[in-house]
């Protein structure tokens, strides 16, 4: 099949050219997404490792919230119908 100046094979519809260029872009996008996800997981594992300041702060906040829940229970606020002005 010979190529013409339009960059797609003669007799080949334009949709096929779009399909051929979309596949590498989709593959690159998927690879980039996986790489970013892996890197983010590594950063979070490092940030929340045992003994890290962020992990201890988060743990204390969770314990405070849980203690408040045990002491106070669930409080349901009665709301009036309509919108706030």
- Model confidence over 6-44: pLDDT tens digits? 555 565 566 666 666 778 888 999 999 999 999 999 998
**What is the pLDDT, as a whole number, of residue 36?**
95
Q: Is 9 helix (H, G, I), strand (E, B) or coil?
A: strand
CA distance 30 to 23: 11
**What is the pLDDT, as a whole number, of residue 50?**
80
pLDDT digits (tens, 9 = 90+) for 46-84: 888 888 888 899 999 999 998 988 888 777 777 777 776
pTM above 0.75, yes or no: no
**What is the pLDDT, as a whole number, of residue 62?**
93
Instruction: Name every residue whose Cβ is closer than 8 Å to that of residue 14 and which is 6 or more positions away in sequence.
Output: 8
CA 39 vs. chain centroid, Å, equals 12
CB atoms near residue 17 (< 10 Å): 14
């Amino acid at each position: 099949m010979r190529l013409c100046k339009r960059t797609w094979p003669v007799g080949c519809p334009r949709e096929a050219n779009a399909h051929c260029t979309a596949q590498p872009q989709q593959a690159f996008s998927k690879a980039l997404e996986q790489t970013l996800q892996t890197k983010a997981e590594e950063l979070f594992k490092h940030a929340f490792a045992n003994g890290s300041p962020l992990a201890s702060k988060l743990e204390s906040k969770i314990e405070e919230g849980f203690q408040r829940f045990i002491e106070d229970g669930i409080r349901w606020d009665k709301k009036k119908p309509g919108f706030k002005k």
